[in-house]
């Protein structure tokens, strides 16, 4: 078994971003800027936002935190997005999801300028990913591809099974594997025989949110196993969707949780913000 170390790969991505950001900030007299909006007091979301601010500092970006109370109205949030769309110091805008129930998430995402949509959730960016002509990729699937590449694994012609079909992970993940000529199967909560669908996968990506759902009997000998899941086990310890202890001896490559996909998601957000900044100045 080869462990794919997400922390190491993420550090390399961030290091490259920092180098570019330093050089370009000197050229243009302004740093790349990321605005993060957090509405309400969900503790997990608060941690994610804090981490994003920390990552910005690490790579030499400006960060703008907008922490709003749970009582924020749709109109107030829309006004903030409009203001950030117009702000020249802001190159990327991210609205931390989920939003409180009374807010219309889709309307907010649609209001973000697609050029600043560093999550790649805007329908224009989603459509561009579909046709393979994009500026940004959603951070988690992009991070997974980066991990696969870092291990020197070619996707072309391989049987790839993605478990999960969410708009932010499963669906774009399947699309990216398809772009690299994988033969892709997408499984979900209505899939009849999950084990059968997983068993012949050369590359297995689990993005479900169910602790230790994927066991060794569902994995092909030597397969590449990428675990996107972030769950708590019976002892409250962070764990993935893959039963790491049993699968690690059967897999050819495997990502751990923590220390696998998570750090990559964060690193790819920095990369996307740099891309948005470069495009704002007309460079690739």
Residues taking part in catalysis: 52, 96, 119
Give the residue with the Cβ less far from ligand NAD, 255 or 275: 255
261 binding ligand NAD? (CB under 6 A) = yes
Candidates 100, 209, 252, 259: give the one binding ligand NAD (CB under 6 A).
209
- Smallest gap from Cβ 194 to ligand NAD, in A, equals 5
Q: How far apart are CA 126 and CA 258, in angstroms?
A: 28
185 binding ligand NAD? (CB under 6 A) = no
Give the residue with the Cβ less far from ligand NAD, 115 or 212: 212
Give the residue with the Cβ less far from ligand NAD, 72 or 265: 265
- Smallest gap from Cβ 244 to ligand NAD, in A, equals 14
- Smallest gap from Cβ 170 to ligand NAD, in A, equals 5
Q: How far apart are CA 148 and CA 104, in angstroms?
A: 35
DSSP code of 114? Answer: G
In angstroms, what CA-CA distances link 234 with 61, 132, 177, 199, 240?
Answer: 39, 41, 33, 26, 12
Candidates 90, 94, 145, 163: give the one binding ligand NAD (CB under 6 A).
163
- Smallest gap from Cβ 224 to ligand NAD, in A, equals 17
Chain position carrying tokens 């997400």? 6
Candidates 66, 165, 212, 220: give the one binding ligand NAD (CB under 6 A).
165
Quick check: 219 and 199 in contact, CB under 8 A? yes
- Smallest gap from Cβ 191 to ligand NAD, in A, equals 5
Residues 133-167 as b/e (b if ≥16 CB within 10 A, e otherwise) read: ebbbbbbbbbbbbbbbebbebebeebebbbbbbee
Candidates 187, 203, 204, 280: give the one binding ligand NAD (CB under 6 A).
187
- Smallest gap from Cβ 23 to ligand NAD, in A, equals 28
207 binding ligand NAD? (CB under 6 A) = yes
189 binding ligand NAD? (CB under 6 A) = yes
Residue 109, both tokens: 């995402």
In angstroms, what CA-CA distances link 273 with 21, 139, 216?
Answer: 10, 11, 38
DSSP 221-273: TT-EEEE---EE-TTS-EE-SB-HHHHTTT-SEE--SSSSHHHHHHHHHHHHH
Q: How far apart are CA 240 and CA 214, in angstroms?
A: 9
Give the residue with the Cβ less far from ligand NAD, 169 or 280: 169
233 binding ligand NAD? (CB under 6 A) = no
Number of residues that bind ligand NAD (CB under 6 A): 24
170 binding ligand NAD? (CB under 6 A) = yes
Q: How many CA atoms lie within 13 A of 54 on its CB side?
A: 8
Binding footprint of ligand NAD on the chain (CB under 6 A): 140, 163-166, 168-170, 187-189, 191, 194, 207-210, 228-231, 261-262, 265
């Amino acid at each position: 078994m080869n462990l794919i170390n997400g922390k190491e790969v993420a550090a390399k991505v961030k290091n490259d971003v920092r180098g570019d950001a330093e050089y370009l900030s000197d050229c243009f007299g302004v740093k790349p800027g990321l605005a993060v909006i957090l509405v309400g007091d969900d503790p997990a979301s608060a941690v994610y936002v804090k981490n994003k601010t920390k990552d910005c500092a690490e790579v030499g970006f400006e960060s703008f935190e907008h922490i709003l109370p749970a009582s924020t109205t749709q109109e107030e949030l829309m006004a903030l997005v409009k203001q950030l769309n117009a702000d020249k110091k802001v190159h990327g805008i991210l609205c931390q999801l989920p939003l409180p129930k009374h807010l219309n998430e889709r309307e907010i995402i649609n209001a973000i300028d697609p050029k600043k949509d560093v999550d790649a959730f805007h329908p224009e960016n989603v459509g561009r990913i579909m046709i393979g002509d994009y500026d940004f990729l959603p951070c988690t699937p992009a991070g997974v591809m980066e991990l696969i590449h870092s291990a020197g694994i070619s996707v072309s012609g391989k049987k790839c099974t993605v478990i999960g079909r969410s708009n932010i992970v499963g669906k774009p993940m399947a699309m990216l594997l398809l772009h690299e000529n994988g033969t892709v199967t997408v499984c979900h909560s209505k899939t009849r025989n999950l084990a059968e669908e997983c068993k012949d996968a050369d590359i297995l990506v689990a993005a479900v949110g169910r602790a230790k759902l994927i066991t060794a009997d569902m994995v092909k000998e030597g397969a590449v196993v990428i675990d996107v899941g972030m769950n708590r086990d019976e002892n409250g310890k962070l764990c993935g969707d893959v039963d790491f202890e049993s699968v690690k001896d059967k897999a050819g490559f495997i990502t751990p949780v923590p220390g696998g996909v998570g750090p990559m998601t964060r690193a790819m957000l920095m990369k996307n913000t740099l891309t948005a900044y470069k495009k704002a100045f007309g460079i690739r």
